[in-house]
Structure 1
């Protein structure tokens, strides 16, 4: 089992071997991808379903845990500063401390988790493990986000409105992210 999980790890973009300028550019590209994915949404109450977790988990898997988390934190800082990078082209601290704050603050941890697992072989070479990695990242966002949302609307309502409606989307986005990651996997 250890060989299956840890064999032949790769980081398709090899960020650790790149210059600081390349890494800074990667962060910029990642924050743009996140900002764009935030605008693809299905309106739901109290939290819209977006393609953010698709981008978060994919960035983690492509960039690795360190640069992936840094990229998502940079995006959060952009949003906190008021740039319109969150869902609905919004920004500001109120989104981070409001009902959606738990989901947003979970994103760097999800990127780090998927990046950590990808660096250990849960990557595009093994689509099943990559999908599981993406599911774990999405699940972490749902758990942390729902826990934060519960402080606003109560546990039962938070689970009913902030977790359950998003499970199918999390599964689909995880499969799509893993398939996208496979496109970056070296052949052979």
Structure 2
């Protein structure tokens, strides 16, 4: 496969060119990774900060836009069925209609965006990788806050659903970029 094809559709792990069995294994492996990241919490008000977005956006960068979004959607589907895969060990369909629903529905979109940016060379250095992941966080916060604003009003949504999470988004973006760079260097992956 030439680099042009690879740069158009694949994440850093080049999974979208692999067999269906490898892809299915990647999706199956991604679900517990996303759950584990969801269970890592830093106490904050009104809700704790988790490593969910870190894992969601890392999956997008590593898996590619299609497989990354599919993996995140599969994790969310399992959570909707009641498995305790979300923050605080939560699960069930009610989470997808409550105040955090916008954030949850934003996750596959954000993973796809970061995977798409990864395929276009945004993971070629620490700063562009950080910028790509920050854009993914912006999607999560923007769509989440939009839903929340519909429920509680825009001012309260901004104060409760965006501002408290900005510093964490920056830190998690830098951490994700560092992991992406490590994976690229370890695997001698062409990310540019």
Q: Normalising by the residue count of structure 1, what TM-score does the alignment of the two structures yield?
A: 0.92
2:126 aligned partner: 127
1:17-39 deviations in Å (ceiling 9; x for gaps): 21111101100111111000000
1:7-156 equivalences under 5 Å are 9=7, 11-123=11-123, 125-156=124-155
Q: What is the CA–CA distance in structure 1 between the aligned matches of 2:116 and 2:175, rounded to whole Å?
A: 19
1:118-174 deviations in Å (ceiling 9; x for gaps): 000011x31111100000000110010011111221110110011000000000000
Structure 1 residues 56 and 187 mapped into 2: Cα distance closer, same or farther (>3 Å)?
Answer: closer
Q: Is the CA contact 1:47–1:100 (under 8 Å) kept in the aligned structure 2? A: no
1:154-169 equivalences under 5 Å are 154-169=153-168
- Once superposed, what is the RMSD of the aligned Cα atoms? 1.6
Q: What is the CA–CA distance in structure 2 between the aligned matches of 1:160 and 1:145, rounded to whole Å?
A: 13
Alignment: residue pair count: 181
Segments of structure 2 that go 5 or more residues without pairing to the other structure are: none
Segments of structure 1 that go 5 or more residues without pairing to the other structure are: 1-5
Q: What is the CA–CA distance in structure 1 between the aligned matches of 2:12 and 2:144, rounded to whole Å?
A: 29
Q: Is the CA contact 2:103–2:141 (under 8 Å) kept in the aligned structure 1? A: yes
Q: What is the CA–CA distance in structure 2 between the aligned matches of 1:101 and 1:30, rounded to whole Å?
A: 21
More deviation, 90-99/178-187: 178-187
Q: Is the CA contact 1:37–1:55 (under 8 Å) kept in the aligned structure 2? A: yes
Deviation (angstroms), 1:48: 2.5
Q: What is the CA–CA distance in structure 1 between the aligned matches of 2:46 and 2:93, rounded to whole Å?
A: 17
